[in-house]
Structure 1
């Protein structure tokens, strides 16, 4: 490790208060990737299941304990100088992951660490045009980004327990959402409407101290995908056109690697960030079992990595980290619904001159780690 990184970590520990005094993420030895984040161990997890809240479900017309089972896989955004975390909540129906109904909850914080939660979900299956795509599985795994003008765009998984599809919704206040439906419904005459699609990371950039959605050559970009990394472009942020190869198949930009922490999956994480070095895409790598996986990490564990894409050609992957910058270490990251260990990153915001990274722990709770550029 170069001396500069010892200095960086030392400075981070000195400038954070006591909640950041325990563990950092893995060191990063590049000039392009985000350096280590510091876990807020004294308060993590920051969001956990709550069996006391009830919601009148419009589908069953019954009160349900909508966040009583698990709360995890969060998006994050900044509004009115507060951090808002939009987290996936599973109700008390079903007996395992994928068999319950998920809804999106709302929590806000003045410091990015201590949260006040709303009593009702803000996005959920209803008797609307999206019912065929969202019921009975629900609304899952959101990512959120905002335009310069203040329109928030959520890309989330619509799950009807048959095919997972990327859906979009927009909002001005992060509470009232307008669903616009599956993002690939119109592209190529609906060719990709009924394929499994998940995990969409819209391209953003820092502008005047705000993280906002960015265009390249007049188009919005997003990275998406669970097994491979794909890309898509848009002119309106709700209808997206996937990149395809000369045969009309989805163009694979990055894939799992044998013997590495991402040997089974390379699943896109929070909104990608445009930098002077290139586009940094944080992602979730799942470690394979047996000889295919990386034996330094548990088989089946989800760890967090980083890609670098060309800032002039967002479809061109330049390099990636060979080791994860965040991997399951703490008890709250290795206990719950997914005991192989999970740090599943989905929300990252620039807030008060620091980067706050929100992630799901073992598909059960939400935690935070922070990187201070100072």
Structure 2
């Protein structure tokens, strides 16, 4: 009896040591008052969208039926329509051998609660024999972000990929299913100076108005943040034609850039629509960690984690605060396995729904996940490995 008791006590002591060492290996951060979060992954829900090997549609470019979302489904936009959340997600077909070599199209899914989704069997945005064919074929339509005007017009920014130059394109819709393409957003700016440079990832400014998240203006203009390596800005008066913000030399004005030794040491890529708050403009962005000595050793090299930066309401180009560690990072198996094994939580969709914020993100460039922030009952952000 005494030997059994000793064994149980020893096992309990080992459990305490194990749990204690685990707790010491992780650090629970606290977000500043201006930041959103923490975002919690609902249990037994994710991933909410995975590849579908059955769905087909007749492709107008190939003149045949294709399994348009059989390979990977990821990088989602999100918005609200008629009391439902609509998720627009990037899908890859079975052509090509790696990301960027397949054709991407944008699928549609809707939900009454933001968690259980009903998907359309056909994409709502795809390359066709239209005015955008030269920009969208054969690579396709990638990585959407979407927001809505106070008047009910939905505006989608997405990457037009012809496998030569990625460009930001814009399209508008009243129902999120039928879209009118307006083409590259920088085509007219400065005599076309920035038309042929690689550009992607647009986060248009939004605000809460009457409990709804709508596209906002500052000083009479629409604003967006955009960029993949650095974060830049652009303005517009019509939502279709955009003028990049430039410095006194006429070059693109860098607002934030990668930081050596941080989770965003390799690039800073804009995420979902930015939000105007009383404290400032909050931009959610994706930070890629440098794989070498310049990265943060607490995270995998080349992993994508989610950050936040606050810009001034009076001057949207002025950054005034920035998180030093991510509020969301690859932790779950589906965020670290698939097409991108280094780990990815790539945020692109953020919606205000029933007094909560729902964040939709790509998981390892393979599936779609969701995390929820309840301002009335905030939870801690993702724990960070200790130094």
- TMscore range, shorter length: over 0.9
**Aligned residue number for residue 152 of structure 2:** 150
**Aligned residue number for residue 14 of structure 2:** none
Q: Deviations over 1:52-87 (max 9, x none)?
A: 000100001010000000000000010000000000
Would the alpha carbon gap of residues 26 and 165 (structure 1) be closer, same or farther in structure 2, given more than 3 Å must change? farther
Q: Distance in 2 between matches of 1:170 and 1:291?
A: 44
**Aligned residue number for residue 350 of structure 1:** 352
1:166 is aligned, of 165, 168, 192, to 168
Secondary structure class of the residue paired with 2:347: strand
Matches within 5 A, 1:18-167: 27-167=29-169
1:213 is aligned, of 201, 212, 215, to 215
Structure 1 position 28, deviation (Å): 3.8
Number of aligned positions between the proteins? 350
**Aligned residue number for residue 19 of structure 1:** none
Contact 1:27 1:35 in 2 (8 A): no
Structure 1 position 27, deviation (Å): 4.1
Structure 1 position 35, deviation (Å): 2.0
**Aligned residue number for residue 12 of structure 1:** none
**Aligned residue number for residue 316 of structure 1:** 318
Q: Distance in 2 between matches of 1:154 and 1:29?
A: 30
Contact 1:98 1:137 in 2 (8 A): yes
Q: Which runs of 5+ in 1 are unaligned?
A: 1-24
1:187 is aligned, of 186, 189, 194, to 189
Q: Distance in 1 between matches of 2:102 and 2:222?
A: 34
Structure 1 position 26, deviation (Å): 6.7
| TM-score normalised to structure 1 length | 0.93
Structure 1 position 319, deviation (Å): 1.5
**Aligned residue number for residue 380 of structure 2:** none
Would the alpha carbon gap of residues 26 and 355 (structure 1) be closer, same or farther in structure 2, given more than 3 Å must change? farther
Q: Distance in 2 between matches of 1:299 and 1:35?
A: 25
Q: Distance in 2 between matches of 1:281 and 1:32?
A: 11
Q: Distance in 2 between matches of 1:205 and 1:211?
A: 5
Q: Deviations over 1:20-50 (max 9, x none)?
A: xxxxx97442010002001023110000000
**Aligned residue number for residue 19 of structure 2:** none
| TM-score normalised to structure 2 length | 0.90
Q: Distance in 2 between matches of 1:162 and 1:41?
A: 41
CA RMSD of aligned residues (A): 0.9
Q: Distance in 1 between matches of 2:209 and 2:54?
A: 41
> Would you say 1:284 and 2:286 are equivalent positions?
yes
Structure 1 position 247, deviation (Å): 1.0
Q: Distance in 2 between matches of 1:254 and 1:201?
A: 14
Secondary structure class of the residue paired with 2:135: helix
Q: Deviations over 1:320-365 (max 9, x none)?
A: 0000000000000000000000000000000011000000000000
Q: Distance in 1 between matches of 2:74 and 2:43?
A: 17
Secondary structure class of the residue paired with 2:293: helix
**Aligned residue number for residue 371 of structure 1:** 373
**Aligned residue number for residue 272 of structure 2:** 270
Structure 1 position 254, deviation (Å): 0.4
Would the alpha carbon gap of residues 172 and 122 (structure 1) be closer, same or farther in structure 2, given more than 3 Å must change? same
